[in-house]
Amino acid sequence: MDDHRRQIAVFPGTFDPVTNGHLDVIRRGAALFDELVVAVGENPEKASLFSQSERAEIIRSLLGGLSNVRVEMFSGLTVDFARKIAAAAILRGIRDISDLHFEFQVALTNRVVAGVETVFIMTNPQYAFTSSSLIKQIIRMGGDVSALVPAEVLPRIKAKFTVGGPDAGLRECP
């Protein structure tokens, strides 16, 4: 008799936009767990470039070949979502010491408050400087983010915005 219980992990984030670093963590996490749920959430403190459903659809379109990964949308606390799907762990990518400090506090709190473990994956060094916020800032200043996001995502980002000069910032296209 096989006593192996399926190990499910949840990789939460806003993914706005999804980056090559996110995809790296997803691929590596998929190799560690029986099932990985990419949980697309909302952050009320940030203005989103894409809607939650757009972000989920974009990620789904990029996950070909990863049969043990699924994408779901959620709201509320990550630990509540993790318990709802019976996740054994929350997966988090760590880029630098600042991430580690913040994520360490959250991981300890999640374990004490909700009994949910956290597994950290160190980022691939080529993605250590990448963040969705930085990508949006580069776009706002008219820069090229093609090395930071999947090729399929770039036209979707460009379709959202036009650059109207250094002080105009980003404006939605009609």
For 137-147, write each residue's pLDDT tens digit. 898 888 899 99
Give the tens place of pLDDT for each residue, 25-78: 999 999 999 999 999 999 888 888 999 999 999 999 999 889 999 999 999 999
Q: How far apart are CA 55 and CA 105, in angstroms?
A: 27
Q: The whole model's pTM is what?
A: 0.87
Tell me, which fold does domain 8-129 have in CATH? Rossmann fold (3.40.50)
Collect all residues with Cβ–Cβ distance below 8 Å to 157 and sequence separation of at least 6. Answer: 17, 49, 135, 139, 145, 149
Give the tens place of pLDDT for each residue, 63-110: 988 999 999 999 999 999 999 999 999 999 999 888 899 999 999 999
Domain ranges of the chain: 8-129
Is the Cβ–Cβ distance between 50 and 158 less than 8 Å? Answer: no
What residues act catalytically?
A: 22, 46, 95, 132
